[in-house]
Amino acid sequence: MRLTFWTGFWIFLLDQATKYVVLYLVNLPAQPNQSYDVFAPFLTLRMAWNRGVNFGLFADFDMRWVLIGVALVISGFVIWWIHREKNIGRWAYISAGLLVGGALGNVVDRAIHGAVADFINMSCCGINNPYAFNIADISIFAGAIGLVLFTDGGDKKKTA
């Protein structure tokens, strides 16, 4: 359980630190339609405020507090579930920390800014990706995949 806490803590800190740099030091929001090539064309900084969920779904609706509530409930459930499980390995604890740390990073954005600050854009091979994401999004995705791969999902197999 300690591994979950520390993974979540460091992911949360990394997410908030990168957002601070992009929002206040680079001041990307003050430069509309501006992007910075970090490793062109693969990695670009491009500001986007996401009021919805993945890929901006439901962004037309004012769901700020609903999405905050959903993220907190899911985070609480994951912590409860991981704490309750007895026969899971190190990677399951790390995965839970990734998911919870990322979710809480996006919760802070929604609470403070009313939207999630997305700024990482990746394109490749002539395909122009219009979407941006952040460290929290990567962590949530990796954590969810990890929980699927590194836990048994509660299915206890009985031996004959």
Please list the active-site residues. 118, 137
Between CA 98 and CA 101 the distance in angstroms is: 5
List CB contacts of 60: < 8 A, sequence separation 6 or more.
52
- Amino acid in position 76: G
- Pairing verdict, β 116-121 and 35-39: unpaired
Residue in the block written with tokens 């990695």: 43
Q: What is the DSSP letter of 22?
A: I
Q: Count other C-beta atoms under 10 Å from residue 103's C-beta.
A: 24
Beta bridge partners of 121: 44
